[in-house]
Amino acid sequence: MSYFSRRKFLGKTGALLSAMVAAGFITSSAMAADYPTAEVNTTGMAVTDDTVTVGILHSLTGTMAISETGAQEAEKLAIKQINESGGILGRQIEIIQEDGASDWPTFAEKSRKLLVNDNVAAVFGCWTSASRKAALPVFEKENGLLYYPTFYEGLEQSKNVIYTGQEATQQILAGLDWVAKEKGAKTFYLIGSDYIWPRTSMKIARIHIEKVLGGKVVGEEYKPLGDTQFGSVINKIRLRKPDVIFAAVVGGSNVAWFKQLNAAGITSKNQTLLTLSVTEDEVLGIGGENLEGFYSVMKYFQSQDNPNNVAFVKAFKEMHGEDSVIGDVTQAAYLGPWLWKAAVEKAGSFDVDKVVAASEEDDIELTTAPEGYVKLHPNHHLWSKTRIGQWNKDGQATVVYESDLIEPNPFPEGYQ
Amino acid sequence: MGEFSIQELTSILAMQGFAGISLFSVLLLMALGLAIIFGQMGVINMAHGEFMAMGAYTTYLLSVVTQTYFPEFMNYYFLVAIVASFLVAGLFGYITEFVLIRHLYKRPLDTLLATWGLSLIMQQSFRSIFGAREVSPTLPDWLMGSWMPTDTIFIPINGMFVLGLTIVVTLGVYILMFRSTWGLNVRATTQNRVMSGAVGINTKQVDRLTFALGCGIAGIAGAAFTTIASTGPTSGSLYIVDTFMVVVFGGAASLFGTIASAFTIAQAQSILEFFISGSMAKVFTLLALVIILMMRPEGLFSIKVRK
């Protein structure tokens, strides 16, 4: 499914663009003629004299469609904007979109289809760690390139993946440091859904709390995915009286968890709660009134007040509707196509090996990122700032803290 | 735990007790509709969860409509929504029985496959109509918050509401099944279909209404659950396992068995969860269930029926 077909592009902006070229308005640097197809594409990818094809691979159906919708919308927005500004190496980007259907083997199968049958130059996609782990062997075998947008547990670094979300230490350590310093927190109650990301995150959190902050973990709890009964857990929390509840509950459970906390009289008035798993997207389901005053630690909040973000939010709403909200992952997904563009232009080639080599040179940066400034680290993750947002009733967060740029460290020593 | 006063511990004990009862009412409400369909008709309805989701979406729709057009009725719409959910899900169940289920009574395993297919169709329809994101209806104020009999005891109002609703629905089902002529017909049909037909009971009509009733009660359950969790296209599939667990454990054809089974599972789950972690509590509950079912394959209570 090609969202911006070549025909549509030619019809709308092509004529204008060629007129501008003829008049000499656009400098030669972006012209396809300077980059013959035979030179920029030596590995038989879907690159022609005036187009390059990429893949988008997210779940459009199934459980994860809720979360992945925003990510693929952001990727399409970025690609549209790149096309409008002249494309990459003078070529317009065309999209082939596939549906991962919230099913991990399907992600692997569709990755193979995109890389082997469609020969796409890059893929923007995956959301859960499980889907990434399923697709990873395919990308490594076929030497593809994946831009992965979600904040995740770390402990991974593949030549064939660029991680545009935060790895666990960037998000967790900054958040815990803040809550220990600002709230004087000593005792922590850890609660998450029962799968790899919360468990790895809580492992890192526990080590940091006990070894670095000198605090105490008074409870650690995992609930099955989809569980909606938190009565017993809430009573346990009441019994242990933690200074901070540190939460990573996901999906439908998240809604039940916050609703029941509120009904049980645990609110921001009497309890500090910091969560790793609530973005603006989740608030839609949970309801701002159930979250009011609680904190999220993320690298991006929609309410961030900088010119990049104001323009981004405006463009996103124009394309996808006034009611749409933008969460952390959506913003990270938006960075993918721009980072790819920067690396391709630097390499002067679409070849995966050359693009990866260009990405690893420690000088690819985006000053136009909605979150502010990001820089690509040779370990394929991004330098980024971590922010604490306090939720308001209207479903938006007020940023109450912003860290310095944090170096990504997917294999943190002493935290494994 | 020396730093806790007696009062605090008593409060937590009280709230923990309510957590167990609250889980019990949720499980029972989910299982009632299925107990009627599976227990009385022997139809394995894999789409039961989707009928719940249908009730939940009906509630959501009504909440949006009320908020947009009749904001002054926001305090009462929820009661209307429960009735509407029952009617919508029941009507859809009635149609489903007519179109699909009645052709499969002699092939019970095929109903499993057919209703599973139906559940997938319904999930995708929800997704197309309401979108993939989860939705929550705006709840009236009187359903929010908690009741505080003392300073330290918080009893969630939505939990009490679900409990009350469960009691009403259970009583209603009991009266309908055991104190009405129609219930007599249903039970007669279950026990001996041919004989019932011979004495003049319209067994086809009985089947259709029984199925519709089961689906309608699922709709009520769906409406009630919007007070606890959000609703997405696949929400129903989250409930179906627990629901079957309760019905099978209780003994398929017994209303009392379903109640006892929901109570046992809920208390085991919630007490275990207080002492060990959530996932392990589930493991132990399921293990105990498996062992009991190995010893009593027909479930806790079963009615002896001459086959």
pLDDT digits (tens, 9 = 90+) for A374-396: 999 999 999 999 999 999 999 99
Output the average pLDDT for chain A.
Answer: 89
pLDDT in the model for residue A22? 44
A66–B132 C-beta distance less than 8 A = yes
A76: Cβ–Cβ under 8 A, 6 or more apart, which residues? Answer: A3, A4, A56, A95, A319
pLDDT band per the 50, 70, 90 thresholds, residue B304: low
Q: Residues in chain B whose beta carbon is closer than 8 A to a beta carbon of chain A?
A: 1, 4, 12, 15-16, 18-20, 22-23, 26, 124, 127, 132-136, 144-146, 148, 154, 156-159, 225, 228-230, 232-235, 238, 269-271, 273-274, 277-279, 282
Q: Give the nearest partner residue to A255 out of B136, B144, B271, using CB atoms.
A: B136
pLDDT band per the 50, 70, 90 thresholds, residue A14: very low
Residue ranges with strand state E in A115-194 = 123-125, 146-148, 161-163, 187-193
Which chain B residues are within 8 Å of A263, Cβ to Cβ?
144-146, 154, 156-159
* CA proximity to B34, closest of B95, B89, B105: B89
Gap between the Cα atoms of A201 and A168, Å rounded: 6
For residue A172, how many C-alpha atoms fall within 13 Å in the half-sphere facing its CB? 30
Check if the beta carbon of residue B225 is closer than 8 Å to that of residue B52. yes
Gap between the Cα atoms of B304 and B307, Å rounded: 9
Same domain for A112 and A254, yes or no, is: no
Instruction: Give pLDDT tens digits for B226-255.
Output: 888 888 888 888 888 888 889 888 886 678
CA–CA distances in Å: residue B300 to residues A266, B10, B22, B247: 38, 33, 22, 10
B198: Cβ–Cβ under 8 A, 6 or more apart, which residues? Answer: none
A92: Cβ–Cβ under 8 A, 6 or more apart, which residues? Answer: A4, A6, A9, A50, A51, A52, A83
Same domain for A341 and A397, yes or no, is: no
Q: Is residue A220 part of a domain?
A: yes
Gap between the Cα atoms of A200 and A220, Å rounded: 12
Q: Is residue A412 part of a domain?
A: no
Q: Is residue A234 part of a domain?
A: yes
Same domain for A212 and A233, yes or no, is: yes
- Tell me the β-bridge partners of A401: A388
Gap between the Cα atoms of A397 and B50, Å rounded: 34
Q: Give the nearest partner residue to B238 out of A232, A252, A284, using CB atoms.
A: A252
Check if the beta carbon of residue B30 is closer than 8 Å to that of residue B221. yes
pLDDT band per the 50, 70, 90 thresholds, residue A30: low
Distance in Å, alpha carbon of A382 to nearest chain B alpha carbon: 29
The mean-pLDDT minimum among A278-287, B160-169, B176-185 falls in: A278-287
CATH number of the domain at A226, please: 3.40.50.2300
pTM value is 0.83
A229–B23 C-beta distance less than 8 A = yes
Tell me the two tokens of residue B269: 């789950």
Which chain B residues are within 8 Å of A287, Cβ to Cβ?
136
- Tell me the β-bridge partners of A274: A246, A295
pLDDT in the model for residue B137? 85
How many separate domains does chain A show? 2
Rounded to 5 degrees, what are φ and ψ at A361? -85, 5
Check if the beta carbon of residue A57 is closer than 8 Å to that of residue A106. no
Distance in Å, alpha carbon of B264 to nearest chain A alpha carbon: 16
Same domain for A195 and A209, yes or no, is: yes
Same domain for A159 and A182, yes or no, is: no
B132–A252 C-beta distance less than 8 A = no
pLDDT in the model for residue A187? 96
Q: DSSP for B168-218?
A: HHHHHHHHHHHSSHHHHHHHHHHH-HHHHHHTT--HHHHHHHHHHHHHHHH
User: Which residue bears the tokens 């509840």?
Assistant: A245
Gap between the Cα atoms of A259 and B189, Å rounded: 44
A263–B157 C-beta distance less than 8 A = yes
Residue B305 has pLDDT above 80, yes or no: no
Same domain for A84 and A231, yes or no, is: no
Q: Give the nearest partner residue to A231 out of B19, B133, B234, using CB atoms.
A: B19
Gap between the Cα atoms of B119 and B121, Å rounded: 5
B16–A233 C-beta distance less than 8 A = no
Q: Which domain range does residue A375 map to? A: 6-166+305-380
Check if the beta carbon of residue A87 is closer than 8 Å to that of residue A156. no
Same domain for A16 and A141, yes or no, is: yes
Same domain for A131 and A49, yes or no, is: yes
- Of B139 and B60, the structure prediction assigns the larger pLDDT to B60
Residue A51 has pLDDT above 50, yes or no: yes
Same domain for A268 and A396, yes or no, is: yes
Gap between the Cα atoms of B291 and B268, Å rounded: 14
Check if the beta carbon of residue B12 is closer than 8 Å to that of residue B255. no
Instruction: Give pLDDT tens digits for B120-130.
Output: 999 989 988 98
Please classify residue B279 by burial: count the beta carbons closer than 10 Å to its beta carbon, then call 0-12 exposed, 13-18 middle and 19+ buried: middle
A287–B270 C-beta distance less than 8 A = no
Same domain for A145 and A43, yes or no, is: yes
Same domain for A158 and A188, yes or no, is: no
Tell me the two tokens of residue A331: 């913003």
Gap between the Cα atoms of B104 and B97, Å rounded: 10
Query: Percent of chain B, pLDDT > 90?
Result: 42
Same domain for A149 and A23, yes or no, is: yes
Q: What is the DSSP letter of A25?
A: -
Helices marked H in A296-408 — which ranges?
307-320, 328-347, 352-359
